[in-house]
Amino acid sequence: MELLLTFLQKAIGQGISILFGASGEIITEKSGNLNLGIPGIMYMGGISGLMAAFFYEKYAEVPHPFMGLLISFAATLIVSALGGLLFSLLTVTLHANQNVVGLALTTFGVGFGNFFGGSISKLAGGVGQISVATTASAYRTSIPGLSEIPVIGPLFFSYGFLTYLSIIVALSMGYFLANTRKGLNLRSVGEDPATADAAGINVSRYKYLATTVGAAIAGLGGLYFVMEYLGGTWTNNGFGDRGWLAIALVILALWKPINAIWGSFLFGGLFILYIYTPGLTRATQELFKMLPYVVTIIVLVVTSVRHKQENQPPGHLGQSYFREDR
Amino acid sequence: MLKQNEITVKEPLFRVIKRSNISMPKAWFIRIAAAALSLIVCAFVVMSITGDNPLSVYLGIVDGAIGSKRRIWVTVRETLVLLIIAVGLAPAFRMRFWNIGAEGQVLMGGAAAAAIMIYFGQSLPNGILLIIIFTASILAGLIWGLLPAVFKAYFDTNETLFTLMLNYVAMQIVTFCIVFWEKPAGSNTVGIINAANRGGWLPSLFGIDYGWNIVLVLAMTIGMYIYMRYTKHGYEIAVVGESQNTAKYVGINVKKVIIRTMMISGAICGLAGAIIVSGASHTISTSTGGGRGFTAIIVAWMAKFNPFAMILVSGFLVFMQQGAIQIASQYGLNENASDIITGIILFFLIGCEFFITYKVELNRNRKEAH
């Protein structure tokens, strides 16, 4: 029981950064933009939040946890939104190929994260020496009182605010896409931009907005990882493949943010299952780590074989739209 | 009425017109201008971090890429690897099949090569061993390319996402194998395979260490050019890429073309894995692909699938990467600076394609409307 509780808690902790990434990617893909730069953007978001907190704590006389939180949160949003803006500029305005831009952005973003991460590690005195404990403590504050209830407390109320924010973001995005006029417009842009254009929807504006907002949300996944999961430090490439897992989760969730919530916990669980499964050798552990990707492939294949209308990727996913090209 | 007037007044400042054709020199002028601009921006970035003048930054790049005989060979070796992966991707992209899985296909090819080297490296003569290695690698890459192609052909499964996921499956397979192959035990690395008898290593040709690499890669490059340009298969690929409906109408078996082309694409990427493992690094790890499977996508795209343009593009990118590694060590930056520089260059080169395809001019109607 104790072990199961720890497992669930850890699975949720692993899932949250993936959930942020997937939510951001879902709203991006709903506009027809396949942003493969999300893994890079998550690195950028993580490192910019960390750097902001680092310099704040370094130069403020008495760093206040809440101020550190505000500053790092804002830095993450701005930098990752800029990543999304760059993607939109190149793909929407300059009609560049989305896969190519996305991969270049990931190369850039991962380099950006590791470069500045390595550089401020050096400033701080060595690898793993960065510590923004004051700011991280604000991120790690759980709900007082409620988190002390046995079983329910640790399972539901032992997390920092970003965890709850990620779920709120996913829920409200689900509502936005399904029940609002703007959400409908956005989906129509992703399905068939020509028709949307003819109906008087500003295709470029929707694509720009969705991609930029999506990137900002995904960046929070990086921030969560750095602040709450690691407790305010950095290791190069520590974020690993989680960005690609976020893109995988979009498929698993069938482009629905609400599915992404349980999907992220499932992925988080699969990601760490090898630690909790008894009797594994080092070799079979590696096979276990394959599970999230294999599950994604199976879901991808099954949905395309069943070919149910509502479970398909957005119709114009990955294609740029140029009015005169039709 | 008033509303209609407002609409006519609201003309955009710029007008974008698709060019019907652009002369070769002009297109290359735009590309070179973009490359130059990206170099200037990179120099500013490095300058703002290091505080040194841009000239010595450039000299550092040149020195790092071609400063010594060894560095020149490293640059050539890396260019060859990037080039052959891009050559492998070209037919798939021509067909509008987004093979993002080159990284995985290279890894599978590399793993197959390493397996043969490890298990048969001591017992078989080198000639036969090499033939087996290359066959096994080609087959491994082929299977990794075939999987998503079959599902694409029969169920229209999204190939971008499928191939992307297969990369990580391949990486886990490699880490799985490393557990059995590691040397010394517990190091989690394979080390140089058959360092003593060089079993399964590509021998030097005409006294050049990477001679066989050069011959193999250039042969594939020329072969791919001919295949895409002058054969029936190449034509079918182009038609399927332009419009699947047209292809069906003229009686091309689209499913067959998709599967066949991806088998070729995967096979060449697998071959690239063998060239890396048997011809260059003589070891295997998850970073055997080293992200080149992704960079090659950009190379193939920017070269417009022309294998000869790919030589230029991959050469330029590797030159800059090697140069950036040198700058990083020269100024005590960490090695990831090279990714940032590569990223900046790529953004410029990708963005400039717009100005080759389209013409932007100030909107003259705008003044008349007032």
Least Cα separation, residue A60 to chain B (angstroms) = 23
Mean pLDDT computed over A243-270 = 88
Over residues A238-255, the pLDDT tens digits come to 777 888 889 888 888 888
Q: Which residues contact B290 (CB under 8 A, 6 or more apart)?
A: none
Which of B157, B336, B350 is facing A96, going by the closest CB pair? B350
Across the interface, whether the CB atoms of A103 and B297 are under 8 A apart is answered yes
For residue B361, what is the enclosing H or E element?
A: strand B358-362
Closest CA to A65 of A120, A140, A123: A140
- Cα separation, A35 vs A24, whole angstroms: 10
| Strand, helix or coil for residue B359 | strand
Residues in chain A: 326
> pLDDT value at position B195?
67
Percent of chain A with pLDDT over 90: 30
Indicate yes or no: CB of A282 within 8 angstroms of CB of B179.
yes
Question: Left (φ > 0), alpha (ψ -120 to 50) or beta: where does B235 sit?
Answer: alpha
**Closest residue in chain B to residue A317, using alpha carbons only:** B158
Measured between beta carbons, the chain B residues lying within 8 angstroms of A93 are: 354
For A44, nearest residue in chain B (alpha carbons): B340
Question: Which of A9, A8, A24 is closest to A260 using CA atoms?
Answer: A24
**Interchain contact, A297 vs B357, CB within 8 Å:** no
Question: For A277, what's the count of Cα atoms within 13 Å in the CB-facing half-sphere?
Answer: 15
Sequence-ordered list of residues with C-beta below 8 angstroms from that of B187, at least 6 positions apart, any chain: none
A302 touches chain B (CB under 8 A): no
The answer to whether B172 contacts A282, with C-beta atoms less than 8 Å apart, is no
Q: Do B343 and A105 touch (CB under 8 A)?
A: yes
| Interface confidence (ipTM) of the complex | 0.83
From chain B, pick out residues whose CB is under 8 angstroms from the CB of A109. Answer: 343
Are B169 and A119 an interchain contact pair (Cβ–Cβ within 8 Å)? no
A305 contact residues in B (CB cutoff 8 A): 155, 157
DSSP-derived letter for residue B201 is P
What does residue B360 show for φ and ψ, rounded to 5 degrees? Answer: -110, 125
Question: Per-residue pLDDT averaged across A125-133, rounded?
Answer: 69
Q: Does A114 touch chain B (CB under 8 A)?
A: yes
Chain B residues lying within 8 Å of A205, measured CB to CB: none
Predicted local distance difference test score (pLDDT) of residue B364: 64
* Residuewise pLDDT in 10s, chain B (370 residues): 444 444 455 566 777 777 777 777 888 888 888 888 888 888 788 777 777 677 777 787 788 777 787 788 888 888 888 999 999 998 898 888 888 889 999 999 999 988 888 888 777 777 788 888 889 999 999 999 999 999 988 888 888 888 988 988 998 898 888 888 877 776 777 777 776 677 667 667 676 677 777 778 888 888 888 888 888 888 888 888 888 888 888 888 888 888 999 999 999 999 999 888 887 788 888 777 778 888 888 888 888 878 888 888 888 888 888 888 887 777 777 777 778 888 888 888 888 888 888 877 776 655 554 4
Give the residue with greater pLDDT, B264 vs A135.
B264
Q: What is the pLDDT of residues B101-139, one digit of tens each?
A: 899 999 999 999 888 888 887 777 777 888 888 899 999
Query: Nearest-CA distance from B266 to chain A in Å?
Result: 18
Q: Given an 8 Å threshold on Cβ–Cβ distance, is A100 in contact with B298? A: yes
User: How distant is the Cα of B344 from the closest Cα of chain A, in angstroms?
Assistant: 7
Are B168 and A290 in contact (CB < 8 Å)? yes
* List of chain B residues whose C-beta atoms are within 8 Å of the C-beta of residue A118: 334, 336
Find the closest chain B residue to A315 by CA distance.
Answer: B158
Q: Do A32 and A322 meet the contact criterion of CB atoms below 8 Å apart?
A: no
Neighbouring C-beta atoms of residue A181, cutoff 10 Å: 7
Q: B184-191: long-range contacts (C-beta < 8 A, 24 or more apart)?
A: B189/B283, B189/B285, B190/B114, B190/B118, B190/B283, B190/B284, B190/B285, B191/B283
CA distance A205 to A186: 10
Q: From the CA of A29, how many Å to the nearest CA of chain B?
A: 13
Cα–Cα distance, A317 to A190 (Å, whole number) = 6
Q: Give CA–CA dist A236/A229, Å, rounded.
A: 15
Residue given tokens 């932007």 in the structure block = B360
Asked whether the beta carbons of residue A108 and residue B351 sit closer than 8 angstroms, the reply is: no
In the predicted model, what is the mean pLDDT of residues A151-160?
72
- What phi-psi label fits residue B198: left (phi over 0), alpha (psi between -120 and 50 degrees) or beta? left
Q: How far apart are CA A250 and CA A259, in angstroms?
A: 9
User: In terms of CA atoms, which chain B residue is nearest residue A318?
Assistant: B160
Which residue has 């995988």 as its token pair? A248
Q: Do B168 and A244 touch (CB under 8 A)?
A: yes
Residue contact A283–B164, C-beta within 8 A? no
Dihedral angle over CA of B132, B135, B140, B143, nearest 10 = -140
Q: Where does chain B have alpha helices with state H?
A: 2-9, 24-50, 54-66, 69-94, 102-120, 126-155, 159-181, 211-230, 232-242, 244-249, 254-276, 292-302, 307-330, 337-357, 365-369
A247/B164 Cβ within 8 A:
yes
Question: Alpha-carbon distance A227 to A216, whole Å?
Answer: 16
Residue A259 clears pLDDT 70, i.e. is over it = yes
Residue B236: helix, strand or coil by DSSP? helix
What 3-state DSSP class applies to B358? strand
Phi/psi of residue B358, nearest 5 degrees:
-120, 155
Q: When comparing pLDDT for A282 and A265, which is higher? A: A265
Q: Which residues of A fall within a CB distance of 8 Å from B350?
A: 90, 94, 96-97, 100-101, 104
Report the pLDDT averaged over residues A47-67. Answer: 84
User: For position A126, what pLDDT does the model report?
Assistant: 65
Dist. CA A320–CA A322, nearest whole Å: 7
Q: Which chain B residues are Cβ-neighbours of A114 within 8 angstroms?
A: 334, 336, 339
Q: Is A136 on the interface with B (CB under 8 A)?
A: no
The answer for A 250-289 residues in CB contact with B (under 8 A) is 251, 281-283, 286-287, 289
A296 touches chain B (CB under 8 A): yes
Q: Are the beta carbons of B158 and A304 separated by less than 8 Å? A: yes
pLDDT of residue B2: 47
Min Cα–Cα distance to chain B from A136, Å: 26
| Res B215: pLDDT | 78
Fold that domain A2-325 belongs to in CATH: ABC transporter involved in vitamin B12 uptake, BtuC (1.10.3470)
The DSSP code sequence of B1-26 is -HHHHHHHH---SEEEEE-S---HHH
* Distance in angstroms (rounded) separating the CA atoms of residues B122 and B119: 8
When CB atoms are compared, the residue of B18, B333, B340 closest to A112 is B340
Highest-pLDDT range among A34-43, A93-102, B14-23, B35-44: A34-43
A50 pLDDT higher than 80: yes
